[in-house]
Structure 1
Amino acid sequence: MSTKYKFHDQDKLYLVSFSVVFWIDLFIRNEYKRVLPDSWKHCQKHKDLEIYRSCIMTSHVQMIIGSGGHKLEDSMRDMKRHK
């Protein structure tokens, strides 16, 4: 299975989900949980990422996202590497 996200129509909304390796309960600690919204804000500001809903669970995240004109693949890549 491909590890890259593929968005065929940049004008649509997408449900995306990503998990922690081995489904470890990483997001039970606030210091780890806070990294995600910071990353999302960065992508919203610099990549025009549109977030309609998000849910942070203990070992994975689900989001409904859209694009403000940028490629969603780039937003997803940058969201995961933002520090």
Structure 2
Amino acid sequence: MKEGYIIRDQSKAHFITATVVDWVDVFTRQIYCDVIIDCLDYCIKNKGMVLFGYVIMSNHIHMIVQSEKDQLSDLVRDFKKFTAKNILSKIQTEPESRREWMLERFALATKTHNRNKNYQFWQYGNHAEEIYSHKFMWSKLDYIHLNPIRSGIVRKSSEYKYSSASNYSEEIDSVLPVTLISNPVVDVLQPSTILKYIK
């Protein structure tokens, strides 16, 4: 992991990226996306996760998260460990035409180290970037929400199911609640209590 991407302040919100080994397109199936959504929902309700934004793409996810318990590294580690275990289980037990190929890729990834015994699902590292201002928060939210448009999946960001864009647009029902941040372009002069999360 590069020195610049270490989570130094465990109390601050961070932009996090989790990437599947070999960029395998796992999240083209709803069953695996739902594991991510269910785990995020659990972490919000039970582990002190504050989730400001997210997107699940075909082979990686982006999130802006914070730990209410000032234990962000532990929270992200546990999230990745749980989702990896459950997705791998579903690959092995649910109908999956790519099963053998996928498991071969995940098994091969363990050969370069001794941290995983059978399979490695997530790449190591989170490319963590500390959210140091309201403006930077929104630049990362925009980046997250534009991902499905840049990939040609949808024409409007709020139409993408597995993203917090729908939460911010309020046009379409979202699959997961997030902590909303006020848009600085709209109400830059109004104080927002949510700013306590990024100070």
TM-score bucket (shorter structure): 0.7 to 0.9
Q: CA offset at residue 73 of structure 1?
A: 1.0
Give the share of equivalent positions with the same residue, in percent: 35
Match of 1:33 in 2: 33
Cα distance in 2, alignment partners of residues 21 and 11 from structure 1:
28
Structure 1 consecutive aligned stretches of length 4 or more whose deviation exceeds 2 Å: none
Q: Which digits, 9 at most, give the CA deviation of each residue in 1:13-48, with x for residues without a partner?
A: 100001111001110000011000111122222220
Q: Secondary structure at the match of 1:34?
A: helix
User: Is the aligned partner of 1:62 residue 2:62?
Assistant: yes
Q: CA RMSD in A?
A: 1.7
Q: Which amino acid aligns with 1:57?
A: M
Match of 1:20 in 2: 20
For the 8 Å contact 1:48–1:70, the answer to whether it is kept is no
Cα distance in 2, alignment partners of residues 70 and 10 from structure 1:
5
Paired residues in the alignment total: 81
For the 8 Å contact 2:13–2:64, the answer to whether it is kept is yes
Larger Rg: 2
Q: Which amino acid aligns with 1:34?
A: D
Ranked by relative contact order (alpha carbons within 8 Å, sequence separation 6 or more), the top structure is 1
Q: Which digits, 9 at most, give the CA deviation of each residue in 1:29-78, with x for residues without a partner?
A: 00011000111122222220110000110010000011112401111111
Cα distance in 1, alignment partners of residues 62 and 72 from structure 2:
15
Q: CA offset at residue 11 of structure 1?
A: 2.7
Cα distance in 2, alignment partners of residues 6 and 47 from structure 1:
21
Match of 1:10 in 2: 10
Task: Using structure 2 for the length normalisation, give the TM-score.
Answer: 0.38
Match of 1:72 in 2: 72
For the 8 Å contact 2:11–2:71, the answer to whether it is kept is no
Structure 2: stretches of 5+ with no match in the other structure: 87-199
Cα distance in 2, alignment partners of residues 39 and 7 from structure 1:
21
For the 8 Å contact 2:49–2:68, the answer to whether it is kept is yes
Q: CA offset at residue 8 of structure 1?
A: 1.3
Match of 2:162 in 1: none
